[in-house]
Amino acid sequence: MPQDKIIIRGAREHNLKNIDVTIPRDRLVVITGLSGSGKSSLAFDTIFAEGQRRYIESLSAYARQFLDKMEKPDVDHIDGLSPAISIDQKGSTHNPRSTVGTVTEIYDFLRLLYARIGHPHCPKCGREVSQQTVQQIVDAVLNLPEGSRIMLLAPLVQGRKGEYKNIFEEMRHAGYVRVRVDGKIHDLSDEIDLDKQKKHTIEAVVDRLVIRKERARDEADTRLPRIGSLHSIENEENHFSQPGHPAPKKVAERPALYDINAEQLKEQNIDDKLPLEVETPQEESGDLALRQRLSDSLETTLKLGSGVVLVSIIDGEEILFSEKAACVYCGISLPEIAPRTFSFNSPHGACPTCTGLGTQQEIDVERIVTHPDLSLRQGAITPWSKVVNGSQWHASILEALAQQYDFSLDTPWRELTEGQQQKVLYGAPEPLTIRYTPQHGHTRKYSINFEGVIPNLDRRYKQTESEGVREEIENYMSARICPDCHGARLKPETLAVTVAGRNIVQVTNLSIVLAQRFFKELEAEGAPIRPTTSNDEGTIQPTPIGNAQDKKKHSNGNPVKSDPYARIDPHEPLVLATLTEREQFIARQVLKEIRARLQFLVDVGLEYLTLDRAAASLSGGEAQRIRLATQIGSGLMGVLYILDEPSIGLHQRDNERLIRTLIRLRNLGNTLLVVEHDQDTMRAADYIIDIGPGAGEHGGKVVAEGTYDDIVANTNSLTGDYLSRRRRIKLPEQRKEGNGHFLTIRGARENNLKNITVDIPLGEFVVITGVSGSGKSTLITDILYRKLAHTFFRAHDKPGAHDAIEGLEHLDKVIDIDQSPIGRTPRSNPATYTNAFTGIRDLFAQVPESKMRGYLAGRFSFNVKGGRCEACKGEGIVKIEMNFLPDVYVPCDVCKGKRYNREALEIHYKGKNIADVLNMTVEEAMTFFANVPSIYNKMKTLNDVGLGYMRLGQPATTLSGGEAQRVKLATELSRRGTGRTMYILDEPTTGLHFADVDRLLQVLQRLVDSGNTIVVIEHNMEVIKSADWIIDLGPAGGDAGGEIIAQGTPEMVAENERSFTGHFLRRMFNEEAAFASAHHTEHQVVAG
Output the CA angle 496-501-504, nearest 5 degrees. 55
Under 8 Å CB-to-CB from 386, ≥6 apart: which residues?
A: none
| Strand pairing class (640-644; 84-87) | parallel
Instruction: Give the separation between CA 692 and CA 484, rounded to whole angstroms.
Output: 58
351/362 Cα distance (integer angstroms): 17
Give how far Cα 415 sits from Cα of 388, 407, 408, 783, 1057, Å.
19, 10, 10, 27, 52
Give 913 or 88, the one with higher predicted confidence. Answer: 913
**Cα(606)–Cα(1038) distance, integer angstroms:** 9
From the list 511, 505, 470, 471, the residue with the least C-alpha distance to 487 is: 505
pLDDT of res. 91: 56
**Span of 78-82, 85-89, 360-364 with lowest mean pLDDT:** 85-89
Query: How many distinct helices (H) and strands (E) make up the chain?
Result: 38, 36
pLDDT of amino acid 881: 63
Cβ neighbours of residue 1083 closer than 8 Å, sequence gap 6 or more: none
Tell me: pLDDT of 79 over 80.
yes
* pLDDT band with cut points at 50, 70 and 90 for residue 243: very low
Are 269 and 175 within 8 A, CB to CB? no
- Which three-class secondary structure state does DSSP give residue 596? helix
pLDDT, mean of residues 38-64: 87
Q: What is the per-residue pLDDT for 858?
A: 92
pLDDT exceeds 50 at position 33: yes
C-alpha distances (whole Å) from 376 to each of 390, 491, 885 are 13, 43, 60
Give the C-alpha distances (Å, rounded to integers) separating 96 from 102, 462, 479, 489: 11, 21, 11, 12
Q: Specify the CATH number for 5-90+622-723; select among 3.40.50.20, 3.40.50.2000, 3.40.50.300, 3.40.1110.10.
A: 3.40.50.300
pLDDT in tens, 753-782: 999 999 999 999 999 999 988 999 999 999
Q: Is the pLDDT of residue 902 over 50?
A: yes
Q: What is the pTM of this model?
A: 0.76
pLDDT exceeds cutoff 90 at 831: yes
Helix (H) or strand (E) holding 422: helix 418-426
Compute the distance between CA of residue 495 and CA of residue 184 in angstroms, rounded to an integer.
38
Distance between CA atoms of residues 213 and 230, nearest Å: 9
Q: What is the mean pLDDT of the chain?
A: 83
Give me the pLDDT at residue 341, please: 94
Indicate the domain borders of the chain. Answer: 5-90+622-723, 134-323, 359-481, 730-821+959-1088, 824-957
Tell me whether residue 243 is exposed, middle or buried, using C-beta atoms within 10 angstroms of its C-beta: 0 to 12, 13 to 18, 19 or more: middle
Distance of CA 875 to the CA centre of its chain: 35
Omega of the bond prior to 693 within 30 degrees of 0, cis?
A: yes
DSSP character for 981? E
> pLDDT by residue (tens digit) across 296-336?
898 998 889 888 888 998 877 888 888 877 777 777 778 88
Residue 489 has pLDDT above 70, yes or no: yes
Q: Could you check whether 5-90+622-723 and 730-821+959-1088 share the same CATH topology?
A: yes
Least confident residue range of 425-434, 594-603, 721-730, 920-929:
425-434
| Nearest-angstrom CA–CA distance, 255 and 121 | 17
Query: 265-289 b/e with 16+ CB inside 10 Å = b?
Result: beebeeebbbebebeeebeeebbee
DSSP-derived secondary structure letter, 161: E
Confidence of residue 28 (pLDDT cuts 50, 70, 90): very high
pLDDT at position 991 over 60:
yes
* Whole-number pLDDT of residue 322: 82
CATH code, residues 359-481: 1.10.8.280
3-class SS at 86?
A: strand
Q: How far apart are CA 95 and CA 72, in angstroms?
A: 31
pLDDT of 424 higher than 50: yes
The shares of helix, strand and coil residues in the chain, as percent rounded to the nearest 5, are 35, 20, 45
CA distance 655 to 645: 12
Q: Is the pLDDT of residue 370 over 90?
A: no
User: From edge to edge, which strands make up the β-sheet containing 19-24?
Assistant: 19-24, 5-11, 77-79
Instruction: Categorize the per-residue pLDDT at 217 as very low, low, confident or very high, splitting at 50, 70 and 90.
Output: very low
The upper half-sphere exposure of residue 903, i.e. CA atoms within 13 Å in the direction of its Cβ, equals 17
Q: Which residues does 573 contact at the CB level (< 8 Å), separation at least 6?
A: 521, 527, 528
Question: What are the two backbone dihedrals, phi and then psi, of residue 743, each rounded to the nearest 5 degrees?
Answer: -105, 120
Distance CA 474, CA 363 (A): 8
Cα–Cα distance measured from residue 87 to residue 631, given in angstroms and rounded to the nearest whole number: 9
Residue of 703, 719, 950 whose CA lies nearest to 19: 703
pLDDT digits (tens, 9 = 90+) for 261-304: 444 444 444 333 333 333 333 444 456 777 888 888 989 988 89
Cα(658)–Cα(772) distance, integer angstroms:
13
- 354-358 — which CB contacts under 8 Å span 24+ positions? 354/482, 354/484, 354/485, 354/489, 356/97, 356/489, 356/490, 357/96, 357/97, 357/482, 357/489, 358/481, 358/482, 358/485, 358/487, 358/488, 358/489
pLDDT band at 1050; cut points 50, 70, 90: very high
pLDDT at position 985: 95
Predicted local confidence at residue 269, as pLDDT: 40
Q: Is the pLDDT of residue 39 over 80?
A: yes
Average pLDDT over residues 894-905: 90
Task: Transcribe 650-663 into DSSP letters.
Answer: --HHHHHHHHHHHH
Quick check: 797 and 784 in contact, CB under 8 A? no
Q: Are 655 and 1063 in contact (CB under 8 A)?
A: no
Q: In percent, how much of the chain has pLDDT > 90?
A: 47
**In terms of pLDDT, which residue wins out, 68 or 395?**
395
Question: Which pLDDT does position 336 carry in this prediction?
Answer: 83
Whole-number pLDDT of residue 84: 92
* Rounded Cα–Cα distance for residues 46 and 633 (Å): 27
In this predicted model, what pLDDT tens digit does every residue of 518-569 receive, in sequence order? 998 887 544 444 444 443 333 334 444 333 333 333 333 344 457 888 888 8
Give domain 824-957's CATH superfamily.
ABC transporter ATPase  like domain (1.20.1580.10)
Longest Cα–Cα distance in the chain: 127
User: What Cα–Cα distance (Å) separates residue 547 from each residue in 184, 493, 553, 562?
Assistant: 18, 27, 10, 21
- Give the residue among 903, 886, 907 at the shortest CA–CA distance from 894: 903
Q: Beta strands of 372-441 (E only): which ranges?
A: 432-436
Residue 957 has a pLDDT of 78
Lowest mean per-residue pLDDT among 40-44, 588-592, 1035-1039:
1035-1039
Cis peptide leading into residue 1035 (ω within 30°): yes
Residue 884 has phi, psi (to 5 degrees) of: -100, 15
Out of 244-253, 408-417, 968-977, 991-1000, which region has the weakest mean confidence (pLDDT)? 244-253
Does domain 730-821+959-1088 fall under CATH 3.40.50.300? My reply is yes
Taking residue 691's Cβ as centre, other Cβ atoms within 10 Å add up to 31
Residue 379 has pLDDT above 60, yes or no: yes
To which H or E segment does residue 201 belong?
A: strand 199-214
Give the Cβ contact number of residue 939 at 10 Å.
Answer: 30
Write out pLDDT tens, residues 156-201.
988 888 999 999 998 898 889 999 999 899 998 888 899 888 999 9
578 pLDDT more than 50 = yes
Query: Hey, is 930 helix, strand or coil?
Result: coil
The domain covering 134-323 belongs, at the CATH homologous superfamily level, to Ribosomal protein L1/L10, rRNA-binding domain (3.30.190.20)
Q: 359: Cβ–Cβ under 8 A, 6 or more apart, which residues?
A: 96, 479, 480, 481, 482, 487
Beta 332-333 vs 359-363: how paired, if at all? unpaired
Beta-carbon contacts of 269 under 8 Å, excluding residues fewer than 6 positions away, are: none
pLDDT band (50, 70, 90) for residue 242: very low
CA 388, 394, 398 angle in degrees (round to 5)?
Answer: 80
| pLDDT in the model for residue 888 | 55
Query: What is the pLDDT confidence band of residue 936, given thresholds at 50, 70 and 90?
Result: very high
Q: Which helix (H) or strand (E) holds 583?
A: helix 581-603
* Residue 92: predicted pLDDT: 58
The residue type found at 435 is R
Range with the poorest average pLDDT among 344-353, 798-807, 839-848, 947-956: 947-956
Q: Is the pLDDT of residue 660 over 70?
A: yes
